[in-house]
Amino acid sequence: MTKIIDLEIQEKVYKKKKSYISILNNFKIEVSAGEKIAIVGKSGVGKSSLLNILGLIDRNYTGTYTLFGLPTDKLSMKDLANWRNEKIGFVLQESALINSLTIEDNIKLPLLYSRSSDNKSKLLNFENIIRAIDIDSILKKKPLECSGGEKARAVFARSIIMNPSIILCDEPTASLDIENREKIIDLLFKMNKEFNTTIITVTHDNEFANRHDKVIHLERRK
């Protein structure tokens, strides 16, 4: 199996005036294409911080990160932006939808920024996604008119519309009822099967975590 993620963090520090916090000390992770990894651990241990580093959102840490065989510190800003848009799907904990756009336009936003035209696939066109997670009825609404669970599903749809190689999920099922939780999990694992999509999920949901190939327990070392 091809190794696509090879990350070694010495330390991630958050510094503010008087506070100093050091997390993810000597943390290593290797992931092969198509692997499903769950990340669990107590609140504040650094799970979201880790996803930000994996997703190239945060590059302010000591360590080395090789992604798709390339050292990420060598990537240009342009490459970074493209990789974030086309190769990495990010399902954020707080849904960052744009309030002035409809749900449909929010979901289709990554397509606007895309350079490539070959990223369409049978399963992953817009209609298939919205059908799979049942959000047809909210497409014309704006985010502020939607419930938390509806927004969570819209965020999910937006993050997979480019058919990324890696999907990073930060508690994707936290605000969902059982039925919608199943729909998201099904679609996630279906993408994994069909496209060999690598899935990295942060979750407090044990049952969901145990359906991944590997569960990584994050702990505070200092």
Ligand X SMILES: Nc1ncnc2c1ncn2[C@@H]1O[C@H](COP(=O)(O)OP(=O)(O)OP(=O)(O)O)[C@@H](O)[C@H]1O
Which spans of this chain sit near Mg ion (rule: CB under 5 A)? 47-48
* 8 A C-beta contact, residue 222 and residue 11: no
What is the largest distance, in Å, between two alpha-carbon atoms of the chain? 53
Minimum gap (Å) between residue 85 Cβ and ligand X: 23
Q: What is the rounded CA–CA span in Å between residue 50 and residue 184?
A: 22
Q: What is the 3-state secondary structure (H, E, C) of 62-76?
A: EEEEEECCEEHHHCC
Nearer residue to ligand X within complex by CB, 42 or 140: 42
3-state secondary structure of 72: helix
Minimum gap (Å) between residue 45 Cβ and Mg ion: 9
Nearer residue to Mg ion within complex by CB, 48 or 203: 48
By C-alpha distance, which of 170, 210, 211 is closest to 189?
A: 211
* 8 A C-beta contact, residue 85 and residue 114: yes
Interface size with ligand X, residues (CB under 6 A): 12
Q: Which of residues 21-50 bind ligand X (CB under 6 A)?
A: 21, 23, 41, 43-49
Nearer residue to Mg ion within complex by CB, 36 or 47: 47
Nearer residue to ligand X within complex by CB, 13 or 98: 13
Q: What is the rounded CA–CA span in Å between residue 92 and residue 131?
A: 21
Work out whether 212 is an interface residue with ligand X (CB under 6 A). Answer: no
Work out whether 61 is an interface residue with ligand X (CB under 6 A). Answer: no
Local structure of residue 75 (DSSP, 8 states) = -
Minimum gap (Å) between residue 44 Cβ and ligand X: 4
User: Residue 46: which of Mg ion, ligand X, none does it interact with, CB under 5 to 8 A by kind?
Assistant: ligand X
Q: List interacting residues with ligand X (CB under 6 A).
A: 14, 16, 21, 23, 41, 43-49
